[in-house]
């Protein structure tokens, strides 16, 4: 389990660092995701190991937590939470590159992604909660635990803690050593197309038609001159 956790944490932090060109954002993302995971682990122990809600969910507590469940939950929930993180931070980065104001960028990014994140989270919570109807306690606990983790991640973590933390960090949220910033710019991972780049029309390089009265038909390019007689 320590090897699995270490591999996932290092891989996610490295990819986020290359994506956003910052050292602070990957550390913040890892800490926030660990908060939602540890909260879901606590709920998992309270429900299934201690036997609370056993009558409502229809199971008999074995008195322990199966070791496979925390590992699977950690891998799956960490990947899902990083999807929400990348979606939110990409929009915030787009706005920050236009305005240079972290406060405005956080507000705009949250407004543009809030509905998408909430809708996706509701779908995942519904799917995972359906596993709670299973007869096997392993499947039941895995589904309920992941549903709680996604619900906490999409509401408390992404909607409250992440924007508040980025606003407090300000410009420091985008800090990175000079060598790392140059590397991400050369690799091209940190580029995000902004609205003003997407809205700029491409130049029209087609040749203009000749004026009426020129050689050839009006509105078309004139052909080569006819050879002289004789």
Q: What is the pLDDT of residues 5-44, one digit of tens each?
A: 888 888 888 888 888 888 888 888 889 888 888 898 999 8
Q: How far is CA 139 from CA 6, 66, 70, 73, 123, in A?
A: 25, 11, 12, 11, 18
User: Strands, DSSP E only, in the chain?
Assistant: none
Mean predicted confidence (pLDDT) in 208-224: 48
| Euclidean distance between the first and the last CA atom of the chain, given in angstroms as a whole number | 94
pLDDT digits (tens, 9 = 90+) for 168-177: 888 888 887 7
Cβ-contact 59, 48 below 8 angstroms: yes
| Helix, strand, coil percent values for the chain (each to nearest 5) | 70, 0, 30
Task: Note if the pTM is more than 0.85.
Answer: no
CA–CA gap between residue 189 and residue 151 (Å, rounded): 30
Give me the domains of the chain, ranges plus CATH numbers. Answer: 2-187 (1.20.1640.10)
């Amino acid at each position: 389990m320590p090897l699995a956790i270490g591999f996932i944490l290092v891989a996610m932090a490295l990819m986020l660092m290359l994506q956003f060109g910052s050292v602070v954002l990957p550390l913040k993302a890892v800490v926030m995701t660990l908060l939602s995971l540890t909260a879901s682990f606590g709920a998992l122990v309270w429900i299934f190991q201690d036997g609370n809600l056993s009558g409502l969910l229809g199971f008999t507590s074995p008195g322990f937590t199966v070791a496979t469940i925390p590992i699977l939950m950690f891998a799956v929930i960490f990947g899902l939470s990083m999807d929400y993180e990348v979606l939110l931070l990409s929009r915030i980065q787009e706005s920050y590159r236009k305005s240079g104001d972290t406060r405005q960028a956080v507000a705009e990014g949250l407004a543009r992604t809030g509905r998408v994140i909430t809708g996706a989270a509701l779908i995942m919570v519904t799917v995972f909660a359906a596993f709670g109807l299973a007869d096997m306690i392993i499947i039941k606990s895995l589904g309920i635990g992941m549903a709680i983790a996604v619900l906490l991640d999409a509401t408390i973590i992404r909607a409250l803690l992440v924007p508040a933390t980025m606003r407090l960090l300000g410009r420091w949220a985008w800090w990175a050593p000079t060598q790392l910033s140059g590397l991400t710019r050369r690799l091209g991972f940190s580029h995000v197309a902004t609205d003003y780049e997407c809205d700029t029309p491409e130049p029209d390089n087609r040749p203009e038609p000749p004026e009426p009265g020129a050689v050839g038909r009006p509105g078309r390019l004139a052909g080569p001159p006819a050879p002289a007689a004789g």
